[in-house]
Structure 1
């Protein structure tokens, strides 16, 4: 097992609420470790709608999901959080003065308190059933999310899926990729009508190639470098498309995972909390964001931000027992070193 990491607060989930919890804890001089199942910070916001505009973030009449994550990470950066990504918390064990969290990657985190900001739970991509998939995933030839559009400049990209992510990225990458081919089993897409219409117009203009009605059938290459994607209709008609990358957007599978076994008060896959402190029925464990529930709860990012502040203030006495917490506005205290 890897070296143990000691911190004040362990935050499960690197979405918007988890990132803002780093800031709120940092303002109270509490150190944080953030653990997430995805390979990048951002949670569902970054994975599902990085380029979709969000309209209800205070002071931002409109901001894309990826831009919001960038700003939140910048806001958290002065407090030097440790990010443990591409792993999930498998066990939460109470100790005399806190908890030990053990992850699927063999890491152990000792913390005085825990904030669960896991959104709808641990989630990962729905993978297509293709032979040799792990090798192409490891090389980045097959991906389930896009973090840097420039990585696809001059590349031949096959995009599979019929929802918002597939359509959005097809429209975005057509301006940088050498070729974009969209694979879908039927002509109708589940994306927003406006972007679906833009996809249709781009296809008519020859900017995007449509492979309909096809599904993914196989991968060709050396097991790491992708040469082509094999497509097939339901009737068994096959088509070979030369490609450098396959982007598969078949949605995410979500589940509570080990969280369901931690003895927390669950209500239909949500965690019941005290609305004043976001405390669960396990002392020292708090839940915020979409996973937390209480009377009057609204599933809004801005409410999750408020919950992050309340949880941090409620945790302070556990981290600094006997030390009085004098509430101060950030305009007065600034950002602590």
Structure 2
């Protein structure tokens, strides 16, 4: 479907649509500030939606356990009364103007006039680190090689090779071993990187025969017909090659991140993060704020719950930029009233 470009005028432009961005939108609307959500992805949720919609999260207050997908659904429900507009599926590429009069454009040609900006871009534009295997793209297109688990049930009865030694590899090896026909866990070292409890669970699965540990080996090649995987080749340090029968390969080698055009806007950056003043979450440029994983300051913890707090701080600070002539009196939500009726 062809998308025609549009022009939007608002108080706050929020770059990103992950959990911190969604809660920042809620805070903005509770302060009677208009806002718009933008994201390069074609759906809201950021990494929660793209990388681990079915993976449980254990450190969200009042939720002993909640999946990434359910968290995003709850945040969407929270802002639903406000009908916050959104521009998805295109990256913000240009910024002009100054505090009180910014103009942003995305790669599709949409234009946003905003008084202040909240950058909630997570890890920036992210993508998987792909293994250097011949013919990889053919197997990616067929779904034989995947980098994210969106629907756990889709792997039931499959012969699975999980490659990697970090948290993502270990967590998904544990989860999928319950439904896979066979599951191989491949790592180039004989030790994994994970929490002690996770490592203990992995060892228990290995002893029970639910996971076969292939160490120290690295990915070496892919075999199959017409993009349908039949074997994953792995190689040891002594160049011994093994062929593992497999329907799907899940390489978990982390994400490559890039701030993209944001890095050229004159913001003070450090290793794909943006420096902010924690009392306001404002960057070195007046009227531009940053929250969530993309924001950096002394003592920063990259936790979703901290991103929520930063969203509230940024919204209050942005009010002074968007409505400089209107005093802001702090109110609790219990005093302000029901969302959607403010």
Bin for the TM-score computed over the shorter chain: 0.7 to 0.9
Matches within 5 A, 1:15-164: 15-27=18-30, 28=32, 30-36=34-40, 41-43=45-47, 47=51, 51=55, 53-55=57-59, 57-61=60-64, 63=66, 67-78=70-81, 79-82=83-86, 84-85=88-89, 88-94=91-97, 97-103=101-107, 106=108, 108-112=110-114, 113-164=116-167
**In structure 2, the residue corresponding to 1:145 is in which secondary structure?**
coil
CA contact (8 A) 2:93 2:104 kept: no
Do the aligned partners of residues 53 and 140 (structure 1) sit closer, same or farther apart at CA in structure 2, a change above 3 Å counting?
Answer: same
Taking the aligned partners of 1:246 and 1:116, their CA distance within structure 2 comes to: 34
Matches within 5 A, 1:212-231: 212-231=215-234
Pick which of 292-301 and 239-248 moved more. Answer: 292-301
CA contact (8 A) 1:122 1:256 kept: yes
CA contact (8 A) 1:25 1:32 kept: no
TM-score normalised over the length of structure 1:
0.82
**In structure 2, the residue corresponding to 1:306 is in which secondary structure?**
helix
CA contact (8 A) 2:123 2:257 kept: yes
CA contact (8 A) 2:16 2:121 kept: yes
Taking the aligned partners of 2:175 and 2:44, their CA distance within structure 1 comes to: 20
**In structure 2, the residue corresponding to 1:142 is in which secondary structure?**
coil
Pick which of 28-37 and 228-237 moved more. Answer: 28-37
Equivalent of 2:259 in 243, 256, 259: 256
**In structure 2, the residue corresponding to 1:176 is in which secondary structure?**
coil
1:18-60 deviations in whole A, cap 9, x for unaligned? Answer: 22113223433524223146987243797479746433x4334
Partner of 1:3: 4
CA contact (8 A) 1:4 1:107 kept: yes
Matches within 5 A, 1:235-314: 235-266=238-269, 270-294=273-297, 299-314=302-317
Taking the aligned partners of 1:139 and 1:10, their CA distance within structure 2 comes to: 37
Taking the aligned partners of 1:304 and 1:289, their CA distance within structure 2 comes to: 4
Do the aligned partners of residues 44 and 59 (structure 1) sit closer, same or farther apart at CA in structure 2, a change above 3 Å counting?
Answer: closer
Task: Give RMSD over aligned pairs.
Answer: 3.4
What runs of 5+ residues in structure 2 fail to find an aligned partner? none
1:86-117 deviations in whole A, cap 9, x for unaligned? Answer: x64443333894222324xx453424132111
Equivalent of 1:184 in 148, 164, 187: 187
- Equivalent pairs counted in the alignment come to 333
Do the aligned partners of residues 249 and 38 (structure 1) sit closer, same or farther apart at CA in structure 2, a change above 3 Å counting?
Answer: farther
Task: State the 1:172 CA deviation.
Answer: 0.4
